[in-house]
Copies of this chain bind each other. A is one copy, B any other.
């Protein structure tokens, strides 16, 4: 009963900051996706780094697994307590510690969410650009190397985390990096912990790069005869150096779902949705350039949205597309896939996936961050139907293998968690063994989020 011993000690240490109530265990034993529930043995709510370090030290003494928790919005079962143990819920560490406007950076606790951060930043003229859709915690976004619609312009969490404070598996506290914009002073530990999914340590503080709110923003939408034409327009646009801040694809099935759900009347064809950030003249020119490129590729119904209200409606429609797709089959749940390929192979990847879905019993509209070659099929299943689940899992499996065959990755932005563990050996070969060696070096007892990312 080493876990029990650890939890007894934690109860003394944390008082009210530790709970074993069934509701709390159930809440922290669920994921937003299709994995089976897996409740932890206790949930700890630390309020500062010292408490996190004390929790980790205590658990290390008793070989008790530790799972860091942000908002629970990850999609690959990252935070499920597959070996039991303690979930460390960081929601009480949610302060914005500093905004350094002159340096365009800020320092936050891991439980702060991205929407809360941007709300707090509104008066500064700065913003944090990474937008994965969900209002995730910034610690969780760093841990899964999240990205989303704006990565084509502003990069992923890899590009926007400058430094971290991390509690290691033995309770030591380290700082990776400084507020300097660049450094070549040794190994990039910040980069190592971003995307490590809590398997190497628990992030307790983040220094984040901020951006100036653009002087002007414009959005546009355009229909295309097929996915190939839309992707060709994307490639041409990026190669021209047009400063797209977002460039999103909705396939025909997604557009149909959006029309039905939001009372829109878009042509039932693949669409690109774009946003441009820059100066007044710059966004005008960029939108006009895209308009010409779109026309060259058979684009029709090109429309601009410069008013904030029109723009917001467009992006609300995009962000709601997931719910529109869910609503298209009442009572169904979604298995959300996530692959990324070189943009030159994107049209092929989407077409093969569409054919595979069409040949199955499953509905699966496709949408994606096509500037990066990243797309998702939203596979709808009747939760009571084993046949549906099997069919969807087969489609998802073939998508991952297809992405690898086309020179891509089995997960563009959702992470490995439990869902993509089975593809790591194939994607990385010997490099996956190297990841295992790094894990063993930093967490020899394997207590940090066991069962994720590396070989078990």
Contacts and interface: CB of A to CB of B under 8 A. Distances in A.
A120 interface: no
A60 interface: no
A192 interface: yes
Contacts of A442: 434, 437-438
A264 interface: no
Given A424-B185, A427-B185, A342 B180 contact: yes
A428 interface: yes
Contacts of A403: 180
A421 to B, nearest CB: 10
Contact of A428 (B186, B285, B409): B186
A278 interface: yes
A410 interface: yes
For this complex, into which size category does the number of interface residues on chain A fall? 35 or more
Contacts of A372: 180-182
A438 B435 contact: no
B195 A192 contact: no
Contacts of A213: 241
A178 to B, nearest CB: 5
A428 B185 contact: yes
Nearest to A439: B187
Interface stretch (A63-71, A168-176, A327-335, A385-393): A168-176
Interface string A136-174: 000000001111000100011011000000001000111
Given A185-B427, A282-B278, A453-B186, A373 B172 contact: no
Contacts of A200: 187
Nearest to A215: B241
B431 A184 contact: no
A158 B189 CA distance: 12
A212 B186 contact: no
Contacts of A432: 186
A79 interface: no
A435 B183 CA distance: 15
A412 interface: yes
A323 B411 CA distance: 49
B178 A407 contact: yes
B100 A344 contact: yes
Contacts of A180: 340-342, 372-374, 403, 407-409, 412
Nearest to A181: B372
A143 to B, nearest CB: 10
Contacts of A239: 101-102, 104, 125-126, 212
A86 interface: no
Given A178-B407, A343-B103, A172 B281 contact: no
Q: Select the residue from A104, A184, A342 with max chain B CB neighbours within 10 A.
A: A184
Interface in A52-93: none
A134 interface: no
A182 B412 contact: yes
A238 interface: yes
Contacts of A145: 183-184, 188
28 contacts: A102-B344, A103-B342, A158-B188, A174-B429, A174-B431, A175-B429, A179-B342, A180-B373, A180-B407, A180-B408, A180-B409, A180-B412, A181-B343, A182-B340, A183-B411, A185-B411, A185-B415, A185-B424, A186-B454, A187-B453, A189-B431, A189-B435, A191-B192, A212-B238, A215-B241, A241-B279, A279-B285, A281-B282
Given A180-B373, A184-B412, A214-B241, 8 more contacts: A100-B344, A156-B184, A183-B409, A184-B195, A191-B191, A212-B239, A243-B243, A438-B442
